[in-house]
Structures are given as structure tokens and as C-alpha cells.
Structure 1
Amino acid sequence: MKDDNLLDVGHDTVPSASYLVSLRINHSAIDRLATHLSQLNLLLKDHAGFESIDIVRRDDGQGVEIFCILRFKCKDDLESWKLSSDGKAILNPTEALSVLDVTRQQACGSSIWFEPVVRLPIPPKPPRLWKRWLVSLVAVYPALIVLIYLLKPITSKVAEPIGLLLVATVLTGVTTALIAPWLSKRLHKWLISN
């Protein structure tokens, strides 16, 4: 979890203050998040020095990135809200929905610049088991039949376990190097679809 970063920019006598909270949630938590953010908005309206809240949602297919920018008249108003029981009561359960570390940044002044929020990519979900099984079957079975017939002149002259080892070795190499990558590329959209 990153600590608050404070950037003092601008030359106002009493600079305004902004607070950025960014988090990533699963699609299944979006309704709960909406409820928390509605409560947050209601509580903020009554807090001294609160000016506005902006919420930016970015859906990347594997999750939802949420960026909340809270604006206050001055740094003291922001600090007062962050320490209040209302602020903690809403922010804590909201942040608990995050599947990655929550990033918080604070900035003061008329020109607000937040540091880029860098996230580690979420590894993609593997395809469903039945799809992987089907692709493996399609990759292995036809190649197995062809190899058994092509290698029969060699395998018929050696002990059966040695012949099976020869077929398995060639099959594994062909499937790993050629067939599986080709099928994965051709069936990619189908594999990742629900």
C-alpha cells in the first residue's frame, strides 16, 4: 500500500487540496462499490471544505479500475476529513473491495499533478477446463494416429515399451512445438470467451 504523496504546487495563499484513491475490483463487486461511493458522496457533501468528487471507471475486461478524486478547499479540510470517523467508515470497506493494493495520493495547489498509477498486470484467467481438454484432444489424437502408422516399420522391430516411447517422444515434440501453438493461436478468441 503506497503512502500519501504530497505535492505542493501553485502559489495560492490557501491552496486547494485533492486526494486520489485508485483501486482495482472484480466485475462482481461493482454494485457493492456503487453503494459505497453513493454513501461516500452523501457524507462528503456535509463535510466542511468539501468541493467535489470525480469518479473515473476503466474496464479492461479482467477487472475494473476505479479512480476517485476528492477535492477540498484546503489541505486542513482534507486532513480533517481523512481523520474523521465518517471518512474511515466509508473508505475502509470501499478499499477492502480492491483485489490489488490501493494507491492514495494527495496534492495541493491550483495545478494538480498526480503520479501515474502503475499496476502489475493481472494474469489472464486460463480457459475453461473442458475447452483446454478439447483442444488437447484435437492436438494429440490425429497426430497420434498418423505417427503410429508412420513409425510402424520402426516400432514393429523393437520391444513394445520402446516403440511406445518413440511414438510418445515424437508426438510430444510435434504437439509442443507445432500443433498446440497453432491451435491456441487459431482458437484464441473461443478459448478466452465465456
Structure 2
Amino acid sequence: MSTSDTRRRGRLEEPVTAVYSWRAKPGRIGEFAEWARGVTAEAARFPGNLAATVVHNEDSRDFHVVHQFATRRDLHTWLDSPERQRWLAQARTLAATKTAQQHRTGLETWFHVPSEAAATMKPPPRWKMWLISLVSVYPLVLGFQAWVVPLTASWPLPLRAALFPLVLLTTMTYVVMPAVTRLLRPWL
């Protein structure tokens, strides 16, 4: 679905992040790790896929498979695909259990760190998300304005304007917010 199609429907869809938590069978952790890498690689080939990754601590049997798609429709295209069904059939032989499933949109995805208790946890209050976002984004904006803007002053305005959210949102989503949410998790 194009952006103009979405706008015509009266709202702009937000990206959606789906987290599926699994516990590998004893003695099958290596095989499950291979499975997790394979399923994320498969999901990455689907239209609208923004990211696919695996979160796993070496001393644990728990795996968190994270998929981020541009829209819910894109996510459901992946979820309902025959390719995913084949991967799920294989997972059933390697996993002791599927421990949780979550779908999140908007700022909630920045403040979510998968854990065993995450299935029952609510997102933090909006004021906390706002405050942490503000404090986290300010140094990035300051650095961008100091170092990048002068280098791109001769670029056309649409290109300069596109660079700012691309750099800022990518850095916030994949670098800053995962670290900040881990650090401030007890407060959140």
C-alpha cells in the first residue's frame, strides 16, 4: 500500500513491530539460533520489512525474534505467508514453547525491551516516553546541526530535509533508544 493510499483512507499508518519470544528445547539452542537467523533473513525479503533481528543472551534458552514492518498490512502479509508457515513448522521441533507474542506501534517500540515478563507489561506512561525522547534526541539534533547541516548547506531543501529524519530516526531506533531503555528500565 502506498503512502497516498494510506492517507486517502484518512490516517497515516505507523510502522509496527512484532516480537515473538521462544524458549529452545534443552540441547537445541544452536539449532534454534540457526532457525532464528533463517526466519529473520526470510522476513527481510518481504515488502515493507524495515528490520528483522534476533535478541538472545548466550546463557539463556530464550530467543526474541523481532520483525518491524512499515504497516500492519505488510506485517500480516508476512505472518500469513506460506514461507512463514514452513518456518513455524520447523520451530515446533526445536522450541519447548512460544512464550510471548507482542505487536507495538509508534513510540512504544522505543521503550520496549523483550523479557520473560514483557507479555504482561504495559508501555511506560507517555510523559516518561516524551521526557526520555526529548533528552535523548537533543544531543543528536545538536550534533546534526553543528556538523551535518554546514556540510549540506548547498544541497536542495528537499534532500536536506530528507536527510535529517533519516539520520535521526535511524540512530534513535537502532542505537540510542535500545541503550537508553536498558539503562533506565527500572525507572520506566
Task: Give me the TM-score of the superposition, normalised by structure 1.
Answer: 0.47
Which gives a bigger RCO, structure 1 or 2 (Cα 8 Å, sep 6+)?
A: 1
Larger radius of gyration: 1
Q: TM-score by structure 2 length?
A: 0.48
